Structure 1
Amino acid sequence: MSKYGKEIIIGVVPVVLAFLMYIGMNVLPILLIGVIGFSLLYMVRSKGTIGFGAGGGKAKSKGAPKYMTFEEIGGQERAKSELKEALDFLIRHEEIQKFGIRPLKGILLTGPPGTGKTLLAKASAHYTDSVFVSASGSEFVEMYVGVGASRIRDLFKEARTKAAKENKDSAIIFIDEIDVIGGKREGGQHREYDQTLNQLLTEMDGIHSSDAPRILIMAATNRKEMLDSALLRPGRFDRHIGVDLPDKKGRLHILRIHAKNKPLAPGTSLERVASETFHFSGAQLESLMNEAAIYALRDEQEEVTQEHLSMAVDKVLMGEKTDRETNNEERRRVALHELGHAISAELVRPGSVSQVSLAPRGGALGYVRHQPLQERYLYTKDFIEDQIVIALGGAAAEEIFYNGRSTGSRGDFEQALQLVGNMIESGLTSLGIVERQMVTREEWTKASSGILDELFERTKTMLLPLRYVFEQAVDTLIQEEMMTGSQFRELLRQFKTPTSA
């Protein structure tokens, strides 16, 4: 039966029966045959899977599915440690009973996309030697009332059936994107989502430690704030584990895992790649290594080089190179714009430029890739202002040489406005400590404009004495098209020498 076959039958059959009764036909034999057929179909299906197999598909008929281990998941050491501690309640069942500890019913994994929440759930099944049944929140959402609730019941029934069939003492049910069905309920409205959520709560309340097999619910979401409070209370999802973006050590671990099956050239530094990929998720790092191997294959080389890895970083960040052709004047303007970013970055944060490129990627005609000298999670007012100066460097360079700006600065201004908004919401401006709702649009605009105008003038003042450096470096950048951070800094040092002599 197709994905929507059941829903179509539910909608069509009553209409057909009503029509047959209307024309005077006896529908009792048809009903009897239908009941017998449905019963036989149900008996056949009950011997197999119910529709939610491990990983969202049907269970394999030969052997047990192989789940990955925690050791195969790079980074996330804190999350893995916290998760193992929670899973021990499922493993050491008899021991925790002596202390009168209530077993956990649910574990909620929260964090940005691509950080490995689903992988952690699958590894949990291996760690606890449990059957693993998974589904996505979107699979429970249908146009017919009651279908989602029925699928929740089927999901729990399948977990118990599979555990009994495989002679397992426990089962893990994983629901990805639980915010789809577990969103906050609004009073006075009756939605299909609410029935599905109510059924999930009922099933969770029906889990008891004395039941066999023991059931543990795991769920993942990128938007914890969207979830209904009934799901988050103790006794439902007892543990909330944050799965954050990996730090440099975690990124290096992930890169090494995905580099095991790839021929890396001697001297290739994954540590350098880890330093250049601040705020990359595990999924992006896996994609990076895959793209680097594709570049090596495209170049008909036997090994993946550092250049391939660098190109892959740009591909994941900016997208593939485009075939846009620009005229000489436009290319010169783009080069001056990117030099404005790069020189501003080296002035306020020396050594931070990783690459300067004029190769069009995605929607950009050129770009400067930065690398943090050290990873930061708290930002001061001075640090944010330096970031805004770097963002405004391109537009400032255009004004110095062309007495005007172009549409190429649009993305830079959006970034600068976002940084200013962060400053205002953090109480780092003349508005003081405020909430966004407390500030009128006029006050917000006035404060933002004042900060940006001041920092833009500071950027122009900082770059004006280096006009000679721009004029000398722009031809080199146009000719080379791409320079590494060390090449750019050497170029900058050479061209600054005459002015300082």
Structure 2
Amino acid sequence: MIKKNWKELMVGAFGSLLLYLIVVVEVDPLAMIMVLTSIFIASVLYNVFHGRGMIGAAGVAKMPELLSFDEIGGQEIAKRELMEALDFLVHGDDLSRYGIRPLKGILLAGPPGTGKTLLAKAAAHYTDSVFLYAAGSDFVEMYVGVGARRVRGLFKEARQLTIKQKKKNAIIFIDEIDVLGGKRDSTTHAKEADQTLNQLLTEMDGLFSQDLPRIFMIAATNRKDMLDDALLRPGRFDRQIQIDLPDKQGRLQILGIHALNKPLSVDVILDLIADQTFGFSGAQLESLMNEAAVYAFREQKELIEQCHLTQAIDKVLLGETSDRRTNEEERRRIAIHELGHAIAAETFRPGSVNQVSLSPRGMTMGYVRQNPKENTNVYSKSDLEEQIKISLAGAAAEEIFYGERSTGSRQDFDHALQIVETMIRSGLTRLGIVKMEMLTHEAAMTECQNILNDLMEQTRSCLDERRNCVESLLPILLQEEILTSSALQHAISESKKGTCTNGVA
């Protein structure tokens, strides 16, 4: 806190000192005014020189610890496209033979934690270039013109370092460029942010010439829609590379990379962990391997075992186990709620449940961890209805055993409503093909209620048929606090009631 607010603390201390000198020591006010004027002029000159790069471009960091593309897993398509663009730097002398204009910049767009910064560092290694890093917020200042001067200072420093290190190319990487390159407001052209962006556009226009050194621009953002159109046009950011979440093969590569320096047991199956981590980013997978090592260290194990990796998945998704305690009746209600989710999931999607747990984690008092459906980007109406019924199953189970619902279903209902909205936007409801903006609030709510009430009735009917499954599994879950998928599947197969397909008995 002190480091963050040191400027405010210094101002307060300085003001108190001045007040003390004037009132107690009775210093001449005229002399004090001259001192204050000198300090003000010095601070203004410092900001001017600092912004021009005479003291150094603010926020710029040189990163000597580069890495190769082989050390980055899960982004094969992005790496291939980036390396092709970088070949224009490596083989720049041969471009004139084909009449190719060298690329000036690349924009890496994608969710957080997918490796955009790592790709930029690997690009500098691949091209043997000077690498300079800055964040978009480094150029945002309250002083007029400082941001634009810092942009000039950044490019000037890139040229100077390249000449000093006797290299041909420099790569400037700006992270979170949406802070610097956001869309300009047509009514306020004189804003400091607009001046900074205009300076960046000007520098990028003059990046490439026949003279060395060549400066190549790489930027990263997870909000590409916020960027100004002038920044995205060809001739500035010539290529926009989408960095997506890794698929199963990519996740397996990333897990293998982060397992190299960790003592894994021979029984560890990383392929199984890759199956269970659908939707994880590279940063989350790295955190998973680190948390697994922490669990092994806590237990003073020599090797990291499969159970440690499984616990780490829950830790990354939900947080650490908490010490919150509940009474027996509340614990029983939570167990019935989670069994409702698990039995519905296993009924509609056999083999989808990994485990049921009553261990409190983060904000949850219990949870069902499912084996996610791999590489599914398009969902049918029946797929979405299954997801809704699984979300509603916890509340349905409470209604069957208690005759009423509880506040524990709030997040389940939010999830179900989001899926219903997706169905409406996709034309999968009785409303047909419509836009949400064209619907009245009453019409949209009526359709949502009709869909949810219909699916809740189907879910309740299906769980009522499997009431004996809940009753047989409940004491096991209450005692062990963890229910495995095999025990759940066995109980459902032993059910004496009829089967339930797509929610219809």
Corresponding residue number in structure 2 for 1:84: 83
Q: Find the aligned partners of 1:86 and 1:345 in 2 and give their Cα distance.
A: 46
**Does the residue aligned with 1:429 lie in a helix, a strand or coil?**
coil
Query: Which string of whole-angstrom CA distances, capped at 9 and with x for unpartnered residues, describes residues 278-324 of structure 1?
Result: 00000000000000000000111111111110100000001111111
Q: Give the direction of change, closer, same or farther, for the CA distance of 1:329–1:423 in structure 2 (3 Å limit).
A: same
What's the % identity of the aligned pairs? 57
Q: Return the TM-score normalized by structure 1.
A: 0.89
**Does the residue aligned with 1:180 lie in a helix, a strand or coil?**
coil
- Counterpart AA for 2:182: G
The reply to whether residue 395 of structure 1 matches residue 395 of structure 2 is yes
Q: Find the aligned partners of 1:115 and 1:170 in 2 and give their Cα distance.
A: 26
Alignment of 1:145-156 (within 5 A): 145-156=144-155
Residue 25 of structure 1: how far off its partner (Å): 9.9
Are the counterparts in 2 of residues 109 and 219 from structure 1 also a CA contact under 8 Å? yes
Alignment of 1:206-355 (within 5 A): 206-355=206-355
Q: Give the direction of change, closer, same or farther, for the CA distance of 1:373–1:177 in structure 2 (3 Å limit).
A: closer
Alignment of 1:104-253 (within 5 A): 104-189=103-188, 190-253=190-253
Residue 469 of structure 1: how far off its partner (Å): 1.1
Q: Find the aligned partners of 2:343 and 2:205 in 1 and give their Cα distance.
A: 61
Farther off after superposition, 246-255 or 450-459: 450-459
Q: Find the aligned partners of 1:240 and 1:219 in 2 and give their Cα distance.
A: 10
Are the counterparts in 1 of residues 288 and 309 from structure 2 also a CA contact under 8 Å? yes
Q: Find the aligned partners of 1:349 and 1:287 in 2 and give their Cα distance.
A: 29
Residue 138 of structure 1: how far off its partner (Å): 1.1
Unaligned runs of 5+ in 2: 15-27, 500-505
Residue 486 of structure 1: how far off its partner (Å): 2.5
Query: Which string of whole-angstrom CA distances, capped at 9 and with x for unpartnered residues, describes residues 91-117 of structure 1?
Result: 110111111111111100000010000
Corresponding residue number in structure 1 for 2:406: 406
**Does the residue aligned with 1:179 lie in a helix, a strand or coil?**
coil
Query: Which string of whole-angstrom CA distances, capped at 9 and with x for unpartnered residues, describes residues 171-195 of structure 1?
Result: 1111110111111111112422111
Unaligned runs of 5+ in 1: 13-19
Residue 216 of structure 1: how far off its partner (Å): 0.8
Q: Find the aligned partners of 1:357 and 1:363 in 2 and give their Cα distance.
A: 14
Q: Find the aligned partners of 1:347 and 1:67 in 2 and give their Cα distance.
A: 50
Farther off after superposition, 111-120 or 180-189: 180-189
Q: Return the TM-score normalized by structure 2.
A: 0.88
Q: Give the direction of change, closer, same or farther, for the CA distance of 1:492–1:212 in structure 2 (3 Å limit).
A: same
Q: Give the direction of change, closer, same or farther, for the CA distance of 1:328–1:162 in structure 2 (3 Å limit).
A: same
- Counterpart AA for 2:83: K
- Counterpart AA for 2:479: Q
Corresponding residue number in structure 2 for 1:16: none
**Does the residue aligned with 2:466 lie in a helix, a strand or coil?**
helix
Q: Give the direction of change, closer, same or farther, for the CA distance of 1:38–1:432 in structure 2 (3 Å limit).
A: closer
Q: Find the aligned partners of 1:313 and 1:233 in 2 and give their Cα distance.
A: 41
Corresponding residue number in structure 2 for 1:99: 98
Residue 242 of structure 1: how far off its partner (Å): 0.2
Q: Find the aligned partners of 2:120 and 2:347 in 1 and give their Cα distance.
A: 46
- Counterpart AA for 2:466: L
Residue 155 of structure 1: how far off its partner (Å): 0.9
Residue 140 of structure 1: how far off its partner (Å): 1.1
Q: Find the aligned partners of 2:150 and 2:450 in 1 and give their Cα distance.
A: 56
**Does the residue aligned with 1:387 lie in a helix, a strand or coil?**
helix
- Counterpart AA for 2:71: E
Corresponding residue number in structure 2 for 1:443: 443
Q: Find the aligned partners of 1:323 and 1:25 in 2 and give their Cα distance.
A: 60
Are the counterparts in 2 of residues 136 and 175 from structure 1 also a CA contact under 8 Å? yes
Q: Find the aligned partners of 1:106 and 1:281 in 2 and give their Cα distance.
A: 25
Are the counterparts in 2 of residues 473 and 492 from structure 1 also a CA contact under 8 Å? no
- Counterpart AA for 1:136: A
CA RMSD of aligned residues (A): 3.0
Q: Find the aligned partners of 1:86 and 1:125 in 2 and give their Cα distance.
A: 12
Query: Which string of whole-angstrom CA distances, capped at 9 and with x for unpartnered residues, describes residues 153-180 of structure 1?
Result: 1111111111111111001111110111
Corresponding residue number in structure 2 for 1:17: none
Q: Find the aligned partners of 2:429 and 2:301 in 1 and give their Cα distance.
A: 54
Q: Give the direction of change, closer, same or farther, for the CA distance of 1:312–1:158 in structure 2 (3 Å limit).
A: same
Are the counterparts in 1 of residues 248 and 374 from structure 2 also a CA contact under 8 Å? no
Are the counterparts in 1 of residues 57 and 150 from structure 2 also a CA contact under 8 Å? no
